């Protein structure tokens, strides 16, 4: 046991105690009694040292450490499990970094010195970076034979981290000055020697590597600014300690520019100035922009004063800070102060509150301001104005100022008042005309009723008496008389049909447009049933569409289908049975190639096609006119009103109708009714 060799260790500590209590005889190191003197001496030196130390011994590189090393390098575990073990066991995080230095000593058997060596160590349960200055020294026995390595360590982590932070700060400062193109300078007031950054030489037009003296720098200042600004600024700095000025410069190339210099004077214990440290920046672009802004401001004021409109500006808080000559002349310069308190003095008293509320909301939100109000003129009269103001904002959206105008709209107000009176009078006139129109419509409906009864009554009597003449004396009447009676009877029949069609046409204008959902197929079947005898006689074939519901004016739509089917059965080719096809389907307005179609609506498209005599397409619009007939009455009877009635009914439904035809081949009518 190591405890039997206490005389070999002069020091005490946790590691030394652990070594004394350990049974080394079962380890690869062997019994302590057989340890060489050189090992015992090295261990004694290490264990008694207050510096962190390590001892690597033998060809197997057995590792030993002292208490300072155990604590400083974050070695974890029981001493009995670590002492005498290899470096990978004792220093698992650090060994791979230290091994090259250990191998170097093993190879050369010479000591090595390493400053600020990085070592990853375990502290507070996690791996952290640490920095150590260390020496690796060979240990020889009494015969000079190399047997081990003793390592002495000094923790310089805090020193390295401080230096790194300073280097980072210096680098950030250097980058900041380079990015901002700021030059730095340091002038010794005793020797007049100056050191400066590369940017300073560049600002004065020299290569960055050039070295300028204080005298050279001052020689580039504009002569007037040197005496009137820079030298006076130095005199002030002797009192305040702050040296700052702006000056024009003449660069090496002869080009003009502007600089801004800012420095601090340092005094010694006797209150004597010893040096100035400062910065210098090229403000040529800033100064040029300032001059442009001043010229722009001058132009703005000149332009504003030349305009008849009332023009003003306000600060971000809404306080008036400028107004043009027109506003001063309108109000009288003595009545308007350059703040919001001046506005109420010229606003109409009934509009002050609303004006302030809206102006406050605009200032808060940054939104455009607009209001109509009255402004008092210098003669005491009020005139209507529209006031507008827009916020001028920076790139971050922060309001910099407000620019406003007040435009006289008194004439517009007067005209609007007159126009409103005219509209009121015209509205009353229209209402009166509507009342008269209602009366006329009532009278017209009475006329239609009379026409439908009284006008047809004489025709009925004519037809009755003609029938009596036929029945009572037909055999005895001369041939010419019979012919005349036939013509009278035919004329009476046509006259009656004409009256009935005219009445039907008038009803499409006068009837109440009540829309009811109907099954168009059922309506078509009813119309076909009404013509069943004629269809049977002519051998006609009529095809109709499937069920289709649509809101329509029931009677009118029945009339529409009746007229179109009647035409298709009437205008047929001799010896050719009529073939009539009814179709109905839904279509979007954008898919209809007609100018009357609304792309936003959905239509019911009804088509009625036949194989009749057709017509020339030059009459495709005229066929819908009242009394327009394309054929002789002796061949095809009719009044020429039927298609006019159809068109009127389609219009009553908000739709439109077209016709396409080929002569002697047939006709197709296309009806488009918007769905409700």
Query: Quick check: is 74 in a domain?
Result: yes
Q: How many CB atoms lie within 10 A of CB 553?
A: 20
Residues 6+ apart with CB under 8 A from 639: 494, 497, 498, 501, 627
For the cut 70, the answer to whether the pLDDT of residue 626 exceeds it is no
Distance (Å, rounded) from C-alpha 645 to C-alpha 507?
Answer: 9
Q: How many domains does the chain have?
A: 5
Query: Quick check: is 299 in a domain?
Result: no
**pLDDT level of residue 7 (50, 70, 90 thresholds):** very low
With beta carbons less than 8 A apart as the criterion, state whether 420 and 428 touch. Answer: no
Q: Are residues 53 and 149 in the same domain?
A: yes
Q: Are residues 251 and 350 in the same domain?
A: no
pLDDT tens, residue by residue, 627-640: 555 554 454 555 56
Query: Quick check: is 441 in a domain?
Result: yes
Query: Quick check: is 164 in a domain?
Result: no
Catalogue the E-assigned strands of 226-292: 242-250, 256-267, 273-282
Which residue reads 């500590």 in tokens? 13
C-alpha distance from residue 513 to each of 202, 507, 561, 651, 676 (Å): 91, 11, 17, 11, 14
Q: Are residues 280 and 326 in the same domain?
A: no
Distance (Å, rounded) from C-alpha 627 to C-alpha 624?
Answer: 9
Q: Are residues 37 and 148 in the same domain?
A: yes
The residue out of 156, 189, 207 marking a domain boundary is: 156
Distance (Å, rounded) from C-alpha 47 to C-alpha 9?
Answer: 8
Biggest distance spanned by C-alpha atoms of the chain: 180
The tokens describing 274, both together, are 């010893």
Share of the chain above pLDDT 70, in %: 83
Q: Are residues 186 and 77 in the same domain?
A: no
For the cut 60, the answer to whether the pLDDT of residue 341 exceeds it is no
For the cut 90, the answer to whether the pLDDT of residue 671 exceeds it is yes
Distance (Å, rounded) from C-alpha 487 to C-alpha 35?
Answer: 159
**pLDDT level of residue 135 (50, 70, 90 thresholds):** very high
> H or E stretch including 14?
helix 14-21
Q: Which of 143-147, 152-156, 324-328, 464-468 has the lowest mean pLDDT?
A: 464-468
User: Taking the C-alpha atoms of 418, 423, 428 and 434 in order, what is their torsion angle to the nearest 10 degrees?
Assistant: 160
Distance (Å, rounded) from C-alpha 176 to C-alpha 184?
Answer: 12
The closest alpha carbon to 9, from 56, 58, 62, 46, belongs to: 46
C-alpha distance from residue 493 to each of 451, 467, 470, 488, 496 (Å): 16, 13, 16, 9, 5
Distance (Å, rounded) from C-alpha 355 to C-alpha 353?
Answer: 5
Strands 399-408, 369-376: parallel, antiparallel or unpaired by DSSP?
Answer: unpaired
More confident residue, 481 or 516: 516
Domain extent for 86: 2-156
Query: Quick check: is 454 in a domain?
Result: yes
Give the highest mean pLDDT range of 174-183, 449-458, 499-508: 174-183
Q: Residue 503's pLDDT is what?
A: 63
The tokens describing 123, both together, are 């502290």
CATH number of residue 24's parent domain: 3.30.450.20
The closest alpha carbon to 402, from 520, 503, 319, belongs to: 319
Q: Residue 187's pLDDT is what?
A: 93
**pLDDT level of residue 500 (50, 70, 90 thresholds):** low
Mean pLDDT score, 593-611: 92
With beta carbons less than 8 A apart as the criterion, state whether 69 and 52 touch. Answer: yes
Q: Residue 334's pLDDT is what?
A: 54
Q: Are residues 141 and 44 in the same domain?
A: yes
Distance (Å, rounded) from C-alpha 91 to C-alpha 477?
Answer: 150
Query: Quick check: is 654 in a domain?
Result: yes
Q: Residue 640's pLDDT is what?
A: 63
Q: Are residues 366 and 457 in the same domain?
A: no
The residue out of 156, 191, 211 marking a domain boundary is: 156
**pLDDT level of residue 614 (50, 70, 90 thresholds):** confident
Share of the chain above pLDDT 90, in %: 39
Distance (Å, rounded) from C-alpha 182 to C-alpha 480?
Answer: 128
Residues 6+ apart with CB under 8 A from 195: 185, 186
* DSSP assigned state of 549: E
Mean pLDDT score, 228-237: 92
For the cut 60, the answer to whether the pLDDT of residue 3 exceeds it is no
Query: Quick check: is 174 in a domain?
Result: no
Q: Residue 509's pLDDT is what?
A: 56
CATH number of residue 547's parent domain: 3.30.565.10
More confident residue, 568 or 459: 568
SS3 399: strand
For the cut 90, the answer to whether the pLDDT of residue 608 exceeds it is yes
Q: Are residues 518 and 624 in the same domain?
A: yes
The residue out of 408, 429, 455 marking a domain boundary is: 408
Distance (Å, rounded) from C-alpha 255 to C-alpha 481?
Answer: 126
The tokens describing 284, both together, are 């040529």
Residues 6+ apart with CB under 8 A from 397: 366
pTM: 0.36
Q: How many CB atoms lie within 10 A of CB 438?
A: 10
Distance (Å, rounded) from C-alpha 236 to C-alpha 242?
Answer: 8
More confident residue, 617 or 462: 617
Q: Residue 4's pLDDT is what?
A: 44
More confident residue, 187 or 477: 187
SS3 249: strand
Per the DSSP assignment, residues forming a β-bridge with 114 are 134
Per the DSSP assignment, residues forming a β-bridge with 588 are 602
Q: Exposed e or buried b for every residue in 477-512, given b needs 16+ CB within 10 A?
A: eeeeeeeebeeebeebeebbeebebbebbbbbeeee
Q: Are residues 396 and 426 in the same domain?
A: no
> H or E stretch including 673?
strand 666-674
For the cut 90, the answer to whether the pLDDT of residue 2 exceeds it is no
The tokens describing 103, both together, are 């191998």
Q: Are residues 142 and 193 in the same domain?
A: no
Q: How many CB atoms lie within 10 A of CB 81?
A: 10
Mean pLDDT score, 284-289: 86
Q: Exposed e or buried b for every residue in 140-149, given b needs 16+ CB within 10 A?
A: eeeeeeebbb
Q: Residue 463's pLDDT is what?
A: 67
Q: Residue 57's pLDDT is what?
A: 93
Catalogue the E-assigned strands of 394-513: 399-408
Per the DSSP assignment, residues forming a β-bridge with 404 are 312, 389
Q: Are residues 401 and 426 in the same domain?
A: no
pLDDT tens, residue by residue, 349-372: 898 899 989 999 999 999 999 999
Q: Residue 584's pLDDT is what?
A: 92
The closest alpha carbon to 340, from 290, 404, 393, 296, belongs to: 404
Q: Are residues 203 and 104 in the same domain?
A: no
Mean pLDDT score, 307-331: 85
The chain-wide mean pLDDT, for the chain, equals: 84
Query: Quick check: is 494 in a domain?
Result: no
Residues 6+ apart with CB under 8 A from 109: 138, 146
**pLDDT level of residue 343 (50, 70, 90 thresholds):** low
Distance (Å, rounded) from C-alpha 673 to C-alpha 549?
Answer: 12
């Amino acid at each position: 046991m190591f405890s039997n060799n206490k005389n070999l260790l002069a020091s005490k500590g946790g590691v030394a105690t652990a070594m004394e209590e350990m049974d080394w005889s079962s380890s690869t190191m062997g019994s302590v009694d057989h340890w060489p003197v050189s090992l015992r001496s090295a261990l004694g030196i290490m264990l008694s040292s207050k510096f962190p130390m390590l001892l690597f011994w033998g060809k197997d590189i057995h590792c030993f450490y002292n208490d300072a090393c155990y604590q400083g390098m974050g070695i974890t575990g029981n001493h009995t499990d670590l002492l005498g073990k290899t470096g990978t066991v004792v220093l698992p995080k650090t060994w791979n970094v230290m091994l090259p230095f250990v191998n170097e000593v093993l190879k050369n058997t010479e000591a090595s010195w390493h400053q600020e060596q990085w070592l990853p160590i375990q502290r507070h349960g996690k791996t952290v970076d640490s920095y150590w200055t260390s020496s690796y020294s060979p240990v020889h026995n009494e015969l000079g034979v190399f047997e081990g390595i003793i390592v002495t360590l000094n923790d310089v982590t805090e020193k390295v981290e401080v230096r790194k932070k300073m280097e980072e700060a210096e680098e950030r400062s250097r980058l900041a000055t380079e990015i901002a193109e700021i030059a730095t300078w340091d002038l010794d007031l005793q020797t007049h020697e100056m050191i400066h950054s590369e940017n300073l030489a560049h600002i004065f037009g020299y290569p960055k590597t050039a070295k300028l003296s204080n005298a050279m720098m001052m020689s580039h200042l504009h002569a007037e600014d040197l005496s009137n600004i820079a030298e006076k600024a130095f005199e002030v700095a002797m009192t305040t300690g702050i040296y700052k000025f702006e000056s024009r410069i003449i660069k090496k190339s002869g080009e003009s520019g502007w600089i801004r210099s800012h420095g601090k004077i340092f005094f010694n214990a006797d209150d004597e100035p010893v040096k100035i440290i400062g910065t210098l920046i090229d403000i040529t672009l800033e100064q040029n922009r300032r001059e442009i802004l001043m010229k722009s401001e001058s132009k703005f004021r000149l332009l504003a004063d030349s305009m008849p409109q009332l023009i003003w500006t306000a600060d971000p808080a809404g306080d008036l800070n400028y107004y043009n000559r027109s506003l001063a002349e309108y109000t009288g310069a003595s009545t308007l102060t350059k703040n919001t308190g001046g506005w109420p003095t010229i606003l109409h008293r009934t509009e002050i509150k609303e004006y302030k509320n809206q102006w406050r909301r605009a200032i808060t939100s940054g939104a455009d301001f607009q209001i109509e109000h009255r402004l008092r003129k210098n003669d005491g009269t009020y005139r209507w104005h529209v006031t507008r103001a827009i916020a001028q904002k920076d790139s971050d959206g922060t309001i910099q100022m407000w620019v406003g105008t007040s435009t006289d709209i008194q004439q517009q107000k007067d005209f609007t008042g007159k126009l409103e009176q005219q509209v009121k009078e015209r509205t009353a006139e229209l209402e009166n005309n509507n009342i008269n129109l209602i009366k006329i419509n009532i009278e017209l409906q009475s006329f239609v009723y009379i026409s439908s009864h009284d006008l047809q009554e004489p025709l009925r009597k004519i037809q009755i008496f003609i029938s009596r003449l036929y029945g009572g004396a037909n055999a005895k009447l001369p041939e010419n008389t019979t012919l005349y009676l036939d013509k009278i009877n035919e004329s009476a029949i046509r006259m009656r049909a004409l009256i009935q069609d005219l009445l039907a046409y008038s009803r499409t204008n006068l009837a109440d447009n009540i829309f009811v959902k109907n099954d168009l197929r059922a309506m078509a079947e009813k119309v076909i049933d009404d013509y069943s005898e004629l269809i049977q006689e002519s051998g006609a074939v009529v095809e109709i569409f499937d069920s289709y519901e649509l809101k329509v004016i029931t009677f009118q739509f029945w009339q529409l289908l009746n007229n179109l089917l009647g035409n298709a059965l009437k205008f047929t080719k001799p010896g050719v049975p009529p073939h009539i096809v009814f179709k109905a389907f839904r279509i979007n307005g954008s898919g209809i190639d007609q100018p009357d179609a609304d792309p936003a609506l959905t239509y019911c498209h009804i088509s009625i096609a036949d194989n009749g005599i057709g017509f020339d397409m030059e009459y495709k619009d005229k066929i819908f006119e009242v009394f327009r007939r394309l054929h002789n009455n002796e061949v095809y009877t009719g009044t020429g009103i039927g298609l006019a009635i159809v068109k009127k009914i389609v219009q009553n439904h908000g739709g439109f109708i077209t016709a396409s035809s080929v002569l002697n081949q047939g006709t197709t009518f296309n009806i488009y009714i918007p769905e409700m």
